[in-house]
Structure 1
Amino acid sequence: MLRMLDIVDPCPAYVLSRANDLLAANPRGLCLLPGIDAWPQNRRTTARYTFLHPAARSLHGNWEDVAAATG
C-alpha cells in the first residue's frame, strides 16, 4: 500500500478502511485533509474529521451535504 502511494506521487492519494479510518497517505494526500496529520493515528477518520475538525466546514462548500452523506 505504501509503495502504491509512492508510485502515484505527485498525485495526492490516501487509503481508507471500510470504517473511514485513514490507513495511509502520501504527503499531498494529507493536504486534502488539512490538519488531520496533527491528530493521533488512531483518531484519523474522515467521519471524525468532517464533524470535529474546524477546517472541514471551510474545506467543503456544501458541508451540510457532505455531513449528511458521511456515515
Structure 2
Amino acid sequence: MPPEIDANALVPKAIAAKVAYVPGTAFFADGLGSWSLRISYCYPTPERITEGIKALSEVIKAEMQNRQIN
C-alpha cells in the first residue's frame, strides 16, 4: 500500500467489509511495515479469496480517495 496508509488503522474498516488481515508491523522486528499487510489464503475457496481481495481493494481505494492519494 502507499506509505501514507497505516495497515493497523485500516483493520476496523476491513473487518466491517468482512475481510481480515495481519498488519505488516507484526512481521518487522524494528516496528516498520505499517504500510504492508499479510493475508491468509490457504483455507478459503478460490471464490471466497476473489471476493475478499475485491472487498479489501475497495477498502484501500476508499482510504486512498479519502486521503487524496493517487
TM-score, L = length of structure 2 = 0.31
Structure with higher RCO (Cα < 8 A, 6+ apart): 2
Structure 1 or 2: larger strand share?
1
TM-score, L = length of structure 1 = 0.31
